[in-house]
Structure 1
Amino acid sequence: MAYSDFTINDIKKTFAVELIEDQALFTDVESQVPPQWLSDFLEIHLPLADAIGTEKAKSEFIVAPILSAARELLERQISLFSGIEFTVDKEQGLTGRCDYIVSRSRSQYSLSAPVLALVETKNDRINAGLGQCMAEMIAADLFNRQEENELTTIFGCVTTGDLWRFLKLQLVNGQRTIFIDTKQYFVTQVDELLGLLKSMVQ
């Protein structure tokens, strides 16, 4: 089993996770003016990514530039990894490659704890990627514990490039609880997206 094999039901059964689906995760988040290079890049490449229509195109032409811009807004306080192997516990199926991993460590040449967020790109169905993203978030929590560098909150995101949905993992009364944001964001709201991504670190 690997991250991509997990469904939401698998997550609930395997890891005894409670799901909360009726809460807005972000309130009073300050939007961030996108850098001019990002606005120019998206203006050119959004139509191209949509025309190609593959996960790879959307990942390269939409998701990666937005995450990179967020890293710059945070003055490189975070590190960003794309497509790396993230094997944490083979017996539990917490193994495989992640589209994007964000760490609060500045170390960019190798992944270091604490892992803060996981982002998965899907071609057209957000819901199809939720189980996978949840598995990666649980793996990040376990990885941080193994490295003795825990975080109280770990974020996740599943995106089609055009549409973004966020998740949050927290320990509530000693139990892992995953919140699925009631709101979805569009890439045309890139100022809000950058604000959300920045708020995860602060």
Structure 2
Amino acid sequence: MSYSAFRLDDIEPQLGLTIKESSTLFTDVQVQPVSAALQETLDYNLPLALEISTEKARSEMILVPILIELKKIFNSKISLFSGREFNIDPEQGLVGFCDFLISQSASQLIIKAPVVVIVEAKNDNIQSGLGQCIAVMYAAQIFNQRQGNGVKEVYGSVTTGTNWKFLQLLDQVVEVDVREYFLNDLSLILGVLKKFISVEN
């Protein structure tokens, strides 16, 4: 089994996590202004990505520019990994590749704790990616604990590039934001992502 094999129904019986829906997870988020460079890039890329209409196109043309913007916001003091193998616990099926992984470490050579954000890209069905995302978040929690890092929360997102769903893992509880965020409110999406990395631990 690997991350991609996990479905939402698998999470509680196989990983022992509790899943809850929340309408108050990110109500205190401050919006993050969108740079002119990112807006220009997305204005050009978005129609093309939607015309090509593949997961790869959405990931490369919409998602990557947004995550690079996030790295710029933190003056490259965070690391961003794309398509990296993240094998944590083969017995639990916590092996495979992550679409995107963000660490509060600045190292780009190897993945170092604390891993704080997992982002899974999907072409059109966010619901189908929730189980996979939670499994990687749980693996990140284990990874951080093994590294002796005190980070309490791991955050995740499943996104089509235009639609975003956010999650939080704290201890054994996964909270799924009932709200869906849309690209036309990019400053709020950036604000949520920034909060994930800025959170006090």
Q: TM-score w.r.t. structure 1 length?
A: 0.96
Pick aligned residue for 1:182 from 160, 178, 182: 178
Give the match's secondary structure for 1:118: strand
The equivalent position to 1:195 in structure 2, one of 171, 191, 195, is 191
- 1:22 CA displacement: 3.1
The superposition leaves residues 15-48 of structure 1 with CA deviations (integer Å, 9 ceiling, x where unpaired) of 1111111333102211111111100000000000
Residues 83-98 of structure 1: pairs in structure 2 closer than 5 A: 83-98=83-98
Q: Aligned partners of 2:174, 2:22: CA distance in 1, in Å? A: 11
Tell me the residue number matched to 2:123: 123
Aligned pairs (5 A) from 1:1-202: 1-171=1-171, 176-202=172-198
Q: Give 5+ residue unaligned stretches, structure 2.
A: none
- Structure 1: which 5+ residue stretches go unaligned? none
Shift of 1:67: 0.8
Please list the CA deviations of residues 129-153 of structure 1 after superposition, one character each: whole Å capped at 9, or x if unmatched: 0000000000000111111113110
| 1:34-73 Cα distance to aligned partner (Å, 9 max, x none) | 1111000000000000000000000000011101101111
Q: Secondary structure at the match of 1:98?
A: strand
Q: Distance in 2 between matches of 1:170 and 1:22?
A: 13
TM-score by length of 2: 0.96
Give the Cα separation in 1 of the matches to 2:13 and 2:109.
36
Identity %: 44
Give the count of matched residue pairs. 198
Distance (Å, rounded) in 1 between the aligned partners of 2:28 and 2:92: 37
Listed one character per residue, the Cα deviations across residues 61-119 of structure 1 (whole Å, up to 9, x for unaligned) are 00111011011112222110000000001111000000000001011121111100100
